């Protein structure tokens, strides 16, 4: 049985299926569907779990989970965290890449969770950017991280790889 896939945001409301087991889904006013694929994981007894729960309880915030292959987690983090830092800055979304925590419950050992928390608009934007990041290595000739997106250095100049 394949694990659920959260890469279907946004979906029309009529395509929303009833979640099974630990999955939960919420729909925003503009029709975006946000899925919680790992239930209450990570647990609130863990530091990151407490942080996620605190953010989720903020007024107007939603959570959306994305399952990725363990081998692609580094594509989202980037060299020295550069891609993740760029995603955090450009989307204003709280992004949690849960790799060291292991696979979420009911998922295979080679799968990891990326948890997005923020307003519906921010989460939808972050989801699109994360998916773009995960697909970018094909389009950029193997470049990953901030360089794959033509990131600028601290002086505003485009960085290039030689």
Residue 111: per-residue pLDDT: 96
28 domain residue, yes or no: yes
Residue 72: per-residue pLDDT: 94
Instruction: State how far the Cα of 111 lies from the Cα of 3, in Å rounded to an integer.
Output: 9
Q: What is the pLDDT of residues 64-102, one digit of tens each?
A: 999 999 999 999 999 999 999 999 999 999 999 999 999
75 domain residue, yes or no: yes
Residue 46: per-residue pLDDT: 83
DSSP-assigned states of every residue in 114-157: EEEEE-HHHHHHHHHHHHHHHHHHHHTTT--GGGGGT-B-TTSP
Residue 24: per-residue pLDDT: 52
The range of the structural domain enclosing residue 101 comes to: 20-149
Q: What is the pLDDT of residues 13-51, one digit of tens each?
A: 333 333 333 445 555 545 567 888 887 788 877 889 999
Strand partners, 117: 63, 94
pTM for the structure as a whole? 0.68
**CA-based end-to-end distance of the chain:** 44
15 domain residue, yes or no: no
User: Which tokens sit at 82?
Assistant: 């550069």
The closest of 101, 93, 97, 79 to 149, measured between CA atoms, is: 79
26 domain residue, yes or no: yes
Phi, psi of 69 (to 5 degrees): -70, 145
89 domain residue, yes or no: yes
Residue 18: per-residue pLDDT: 32
Instruction: State how far the Cα of 104 lies from the Cα of 112, in Å rounded to an integer.
Output: 7
Residue 15: per-residue pLDDT: 30
Tally the domains of the chain.
1
CATH for 119: 3.30.1370.10
38 domain residue, yes or no: yes
Question: CB-based contacts of 61: which residues, under 8 Å, 6+ apart?
Answer: 55, 117, 118, 119
Residue 30: per-residue pLDDT: 52
Residue 91: per-residue pLDDT: 96
Q: What is the pLDDT of residues 134-162, one digit of tens each?
A: 987 554 445 544 454 444 444 444 444 44
84: helix, strand or coil:
helix
For the residues 5-14, what does the mean pLDDT come to? 39
Residue 35: per-residue pLDDT: 86
135 domain residue, yes or no: yes
8 domain residue, yes or no: no
């Amino acid at each position: 049985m394949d694990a659920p896939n959260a890469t279907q945001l946004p979906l029309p409301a009529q395509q929303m299926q009833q979640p099974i087991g630990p999955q939960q889904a919420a729909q925003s006013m503009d029709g975006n569907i946000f899925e919680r694929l790992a239930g209450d994981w990570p647990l609130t007894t863990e530091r990151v779990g407490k942080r996620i729960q605190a953010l989720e309880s903020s007024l107007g915030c939603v959570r959306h989970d994305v399952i990725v292959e363990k081998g692609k987690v580094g594509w989202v983090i980037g060299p020295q965290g550069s891609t993740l830092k760029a995603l955090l800055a450009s989307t204003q979304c709280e992004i949690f890449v849960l790799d060291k925590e292991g696979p979420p419950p009911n998922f295979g050992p080679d799968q990891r969770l990326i948890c997005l928390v923020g307003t519906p608009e921010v989460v939808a934007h972050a989801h699109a950017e994360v998916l773009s990041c995960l697909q970018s290595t094909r389009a950029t000739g193997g470049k990953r991280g901030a360089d794959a997106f033509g990131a600028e250095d601290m002086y505003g100049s485009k960085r290039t790889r030689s």
